[in-house]
A and B are shown apart, each in its own frame.
Chain A
Amino acid sequence: MINIITKKNTTPFSSSVFSEYGNRNTYNSGINLGFSKNKISGQVNASANGSDGFSLSDSSFGNNQNPFRNYAFDTSLDYQFSEYLSTDATYRYARKSFSGPTIATVQGQAIEINEDGWQDEQSLTLETKWNPFERFNTSVIGYTTRFEDYSTTLFEDPTESDITNNNEQGFNRLEVQNNYTWKFDHISTFGGGLTTEFVNAERYKGKRTQSGSFLYLQHQAFFSDKFSITGGARLDNHSTYNSYISPKLSARYKPSEWLTFRASAGRGFKAPDFRTLYLNFDNGGSGYRVIGTLNIQSYISDLEQDGRVRRFFVDPSRANSLSPEYSTSFNFGFDIDPLQNLFLKINLFRNNAENLIEALPVAELTDDSQLFGYININEAYTQGIESELTFIPFKDLKLNVGYQYLKAVQIQRETISVLENGVVIDKDILTEAPLARRPRHSGTVKLSYQEPFWGLETALRVILRSEYLFNGSQATNNEEFAPGYSLWNISVAKDISEKIRIQIGTDNFTNHTDPNFLQYQAGISYFGKLFITFN
């Protein structure tokens, strides 16, 4: 789902353009037009981006990222009927297209194939807000989205017929939300909605649908300026899975201007959505494929027949069915702001999950790409600390540090027989293994410097990740750890005038690449960017 941040336009007419160009023929350009007159305001955005893609390994055929061309268009319109009633509409269309070579082994022979495809996404949101009484407001939100993808595999050999794959997916939601502010300043929120989903995939010969409904209730109680408690619950009904109630309770305490404590606890539920069940992300040239739960069995047997599976990481039958995920989470944290130039936010979290839905690598294919499927992990937990620090040592220099310590664990329980004092007894043991792709330490460091003489805005951004389990198989004897890494980006921007801004920069300037574990990370990139605002 894409959330579009719509900024209400207040000037009668505004427009801006931007254009960016970098190595590998990477480009990104766009235009924004906005208007506002009396009760109507609106805006239109259009953008195009693309790249020649990249390949990290000279020896293997194919690309890590195939050449792609993307276009996006969005528009919004807002109409103010009166002070108490307004409505707005937002529409978005985006197309992504790619093409590139890859390799397949057919009857023991490696042959070159070409994969082309596109993905289209459209969405429409309509929202009406009404404020009929002083303490009550209501809004009705309708949201509909359509997603379609198409890919075709062309063989060099003209006698081989092309393979095409076409899927269409839709999701609709209608929601009503009401807020009531009590005389003693408590706020109650209640609402509900309906959802429907469909998927139309070539391999199913027909449409699959599922639907659901939800109701929620929340009450926010303010006991003083310093202390508030919020309690709420949500009921989800689902056409395929059981109904589920998720309660949540949170509290906030602000003993002084510079200190705030927060705590919360809640239960959660996540049903497998249509994307996880039916859809295939089949862009083989980009280094990976993600196959829906109900497709993966036949998909793998087709690949096996073509001799394209090099090895399995987990038993593929584990990716054939999915149950909903349940979780219980606890949070505790504080914000501290003791000095003008120092801000620190700390949050401790613990999340216990049952049937955790994970996208895990199921197999490695002969073209070096990985095949992912969705797998339930019976029991898992994550816990750790998130922290955010902002420090401004002097006027033109600002340091932001985000750091997370994360322990992400899957739990296996089994009963083993052991000998104690000559007698065999059954002992329940619990083994903990790391969850895949979750580094213990991760962080970003951003240093911005406003150079006073030339007016240059310099920003250095570093992304840090520690070592992590790459292959998520529960098989403890073939764990594969990816090494930790850092990515360094730097950019310099200058406002030539009030209306023109230029920026140059380089991403990943230490040229860190890793064809084994970071298949989608390109090497060093350079770019130049121009923004022009017309008013």
Chain B
Amino acid sequence: MYNKTISIFVLSIFTLFVACSESEQTELTFSGETVTVNNVQAGTDTTGGFTFYNLSTNSIVSDADSATNNWDIALKDAGFEILVITNNGVSGPGNGGGLLIDQDFETITEVPNDDQFKVDTDSELAIDATPGGWWIYTSTQLEPNFAVLPKDPHTIFVRTATGDYAKLEVLSYYEGNPDTSTPEFANLRTRPAQGFFTFRFELLEN
């Protein structure tokens, strides 16, 4: 028994060593230092389209800069689709890209290889805007009914306009990031307004 414990211990040390040396080969890893952004109101067709956002300055970018490298993601509430676009392809002039996976934001340390990022095309967006992509619509099937909830888990990778990498998770689609389990939220009369993104991200600058 005693010998076995020792050998497991030695094995663990060895595994740790191998794991460390492997991670050193990767150039970039996420450290877990995230920034949370509250209540960014998505654009709509009536307000003139998208709300543009720059992750490195952590601020909203004016619509006038939509054709520049000044923005990294843009948000739009289009009813049955909720768009998160990146600065690339048909969406912008930048070197951006997007990738959506079904993995827990907090556990992610590695950056996807460059060829894994998708660009926006006329037929398909890099980040799926339909229900079941990064969000779900509860309809009458889940509680609270008729609500847009971020999918648990999900992580959006963003390659910024200038080629930096970020991981991003949407936390809420309602104004003030409300607790969605309360009766106030369940009641459609007292539910806060939708179209307000609360999200967190970690940016790795190249």
Q: A residues bordering B, Cβ < 8 Å?
A: 311-316, 416-419, 421-424, 473, 475, 477-478
Judge whether B103 is part of the interface by a CB distance below 8 angstroms: yes
Query: Chain B contacts of A475 at CB under 8 A?
Result: 141-143
Query: Chain B contacts of A417 at CB under 8 A?
Result: 100-102
Inter-chain contact B142/A477, CB cutoff 8 Å? yes
Inter-chain contact B112/A424, CB cutoff 8 Å? yes
Query: Chain B contacts of A416 at CB under 8 A?
Result: 101-103
Judge whether B21 is part of the interface by a CB distance below 8 angstroms: no
**A-B contacts, 14 listed (Cβ < 8 Å):** A311-B145, A316-B140, A416-B101, A416-B103, A418-B101, A418-B103, A419-B101, A422-B116, A423-B112, A424-B99, A424-B116, A475-B142, A477-B152, A478-B142
Query: Chain A contacts of B15 at CB under 8 A?
Result: none
| Cα(A405)–Cα(B118), bound, Å | 50
Inter-chain contact B141/A424, CB cutoff 8 Å? no
A528 to chain B, nearest CB (A): 47
| Cα(A313)–Cα(B26), bound, Å | 46
Main secondary structure of the interface of B (DSSP, over half): loop
Query: Chain A contacts of B100 at CB under 8 A?
Result: 417
Give chain B interface residues in 96-127, CB to chain A under 8 Å: 99-103, 108, 110-113, 116
Nearest A residue to B138 via CB reads A475
Query: Which 4 residue pairs are nearest across A and B when measured between Cβ atoms?
Result: A315-B141, A416-B102, A422-B113, A312-B140
Inter-chain contact B142/A422, CB cutoff 8 Å? no
Inter-chain contact A422/B111, CB cutoff 8 Å? yes
Judge whether B68 is part of the interface by a CB distance below 8 angstroms: no
Judge whether B139 is part of the interface by a CB distance below 8 angstroms: yes
| Cα(A423)–Cα(B152), bound, Å | 21
Which residue of A418, A423, A478 is within 8 Å of B113 (Cβ)?
A423
Nearest B residue to A422 via CB reads B113
A444 to chain B, nearest CB (A): 35
Nearest B residue to A304 via CB reads B140
| Cα(A418)–Cα(B116), bound, Å | 12
| Cα(A417)–Cα(B145), bound, Å | 27
| Cα(A534)–Cα(B142), bound, Å | 62
Query: What 11 new A-B contacts, CB under 8 Å, besides A311-B143, A423-B113, A477-B142?
Result: A314-B141, A315-B139, A315-B140, A416-B103, A417-B102, A418-B103, A419-B101, A422-B110, A424-B101, A424-B112, A475-B142
Query: Chain A contacts of B186 at CB under 8 A?
Result: 311
Nearest A residue to B102 via CB reads A416
| Cα(A210)–Cα(B91), bound, Å | 59
Inter-chain contact A312/B110, CB cutoff 8 Å? no
